[in-house]
Amino acid sequence: MRKLVLAASIALLTACSAPQPEQINFKPKAVLSSSDLVDGSSYTLTSKDVRSAQYVALVDSGRSNIEPLHAQQNVRISLENALLEQFGSQGFRSTVNSENSVEVEIQEALVTVKHSVMENEMDGKVTIEITAETPKGKLVKTYNGTATRSGMLSASNEEIATVLNDVVNLVLKEIANDRELKEYMAERF
């Protein structure tokens, strides 16, 4: 019995000391409205992540080695929470069983990084589709954000996270300022 406990302890300690894969800190920021568009109109928010892969960055170091990096946080849940906060600041109230719905579909959220010892180049792309639906109809809008950044030396995970978060925040700002979406939701919800 003592040998079994010792073997299990060693296995557990070995697993704890194994190197963990590097991850990107994903923190989208909601764009908050200073005034309400509506007073408590309800809606149900759902989201889905339809990206073909769950990593948020691909790092190409030029040695036939492309390394995927994942987000520390769940991308779908983080974006959903940011949009809940964003719509809440406009006066919309999220409920579980409203006849009005907003569906968020994350189609792309990726930073591709090409770097060498001397320089790096990062391209960020984010595509989010929002469907606002009521019994009277629906509105489908696609929001895209892109960014390119280059620098000296190889790119750090913090720099990659900055590009990803900046592009996502640009898309969130575009959603918050979209007059057509705001008017559709305000008039029909």
Query: Cα torsion at 50, 128, 76, 65 (round to 10°)?
Result: 70
Average pLDDT over residues 45-71: 92
Tokens 């705001």, located at residue: 182
Q: What is the CATH number of the domain that holds 19?
A: 3.40.50
* Contact yes or no for 189/100 (Cβ under 8 A): yes
pTM of the model: 0.85
* List of residues 6+ apart from 94 with CB closer than 8 A: 42, 43, 44, 45, 84, 87, 88
- Tokens representing 143 are 């929001």
The reported pLDDT for the residue numbered 18 is: 46
Q: What are the tens digits of pLDDT across the range 130-174?
A: 999 999 899 999 999 999 999 888 889 999 999 999 999 999 999
Q: What are the tens digits of pLDDT across the range 89-123?
A: 999 999 999 999 999 999 999 999 998 878 999 99
| Band (10; pLDDT cuts 50, 70, 90) | low
**Count of structural domains, the chain:** 1
Pairing of strands 66-71, 93-94: unpaired
- Tokens representing 7 are 């073997």
Residue range(s) defining the domain that contains residue 27: 2-188
Taking the C-alpha atoms of residue 166 and residue 168, their distance in angstroms, rounded to an integer, is 6
